[in-house]
A = this chain, B = another copy of it.
Amino acid sequence: MPILALMDAIDARIIRALQRDGRLTNLELAEEVGLSPSPCLRRVRNLEAAGVIQGYTALVDQKACGYPITCLVRIRLANHSQENVQAFEKKIAETEAILDCYLMTGGADYELRIVARSLDDYEQLVRHTIQKLPGIASIETSFAYGVVKKSRILPVRVEKGA
């Protein structure tokens, strides 16, 4: 589905603006993208309906919310039986502190981004949740001790020519 093909430069500007500030009023947005309010609102609704805009969220301070620790965790499975994989992914989905989980090429099968309230808290999570899953071959944790960049703004460019 080449949704992109249906997007023009104004849609791209709308997406950029709403990533920058998801609570822009339609009036502000319309002015920023050079449209009057009604067509602007219609475009936003279309982008939402098409799934290009998937939702809106508040960005919160991890530390202020009590989660000062971020770890990136690489996991290998010993056994990729359908049961193990399903049990693993189900647990991932249920566990709130696991924010992201990607299936990866390379040395690890999965990479997880996990937040924790403390090192103890992290240890508990690993011991009681992750290590108990069947078929885990290895768990390699790296802690983030600094954040150089954290952008939620995906670049949006409309295809030119080609």
Contact = CB atoms under 8 A, between A and B. Distances in A.
A159 interface: yes
A115 interface: yes
Contacts of A40: none
Number of copies: 2
Contact of A156 (B65, B100, B159): B65
B98 A18 contact: no
Given A108-B142, A111-B72, A157-B66, A56 B103 contact: no
B21 A105 contact: no
Interface in A120-151: 140-151
Contacts of A108: 142
12 contacts: A3-B63, A18-B58, A19-B60, A20-B57, A53-B58, A59-B152, A60-B154, A65-B154, A100-B150, A103-B147, A105-B145, A106-B140
